[in-house]
Structure 1
């Protein structure tokens, strides 16, 4: 199964989470006032990750 983003409504607003292929939650976002805001947050993460470098700490 491929990884997927889920957008859901929590107690404090709309949120997103990234679910790995094995079903584990590997990332999540802040609360947004709207579902559309959470979807825009997902889009921003997807764009940033596509250009991100891997570095050593």
Structure 2
């Protein structure tokens, strides 16, 4: 089962990672000034992850595929790692869809 992990970065802002059951990070957030905003970001991931239109599939300059998860207003709420292939990226998207809706929240901030 997946989990969201909330932590503070070096500047004191809050970030979350969505981790799959095996502990691998499958989605990382932007920085949030407050923990409440970070929790709202987590709720947005859970809400929007089931709509395939919210996944923006992209290719980095080096050719590596990756994706952004966007809310319905078009704001990026999470970014993936770089993948070795398009099929690996699609597996990452499937993992977000599988893990995010029922993921627990682990606050280590």
| TM band (smaller chain) | 0.7 to 0.9
How do residues 35-50 of structure 1 correspond to structure 2 at under 5 angstroms? 35-50=35-50
Q: Which has the larger radius of gyration?
A: 2
Residues matched between the structures, number:
54
How do residues 1-40 of structure 1 correspond to structure 2 at under 5 angstroms? 2-12=1-11, 13-40=13-40
Q: Which runs of 5+ in 1 are unaligned?
A: none
SS in 2 for 1:44: helix
**Post-superposition offset of 1:53:** 2.3
Please, what TM-score do these two structures have when normalized by structure 1? Answer: 0.82
Please, what TM-score do these two structures have when normalized by structure 2? Answer: 0.45
Q: Which runs of 5+ in 2 are unaligned?
A: 58-109
Cα RMSD after superposing both structures: 1.9
Higher relative contact order (CA 8 A, sep 6+): 2
Q: Runs of 4+ in structure 1 displaced over 3 angstroms?
A: none
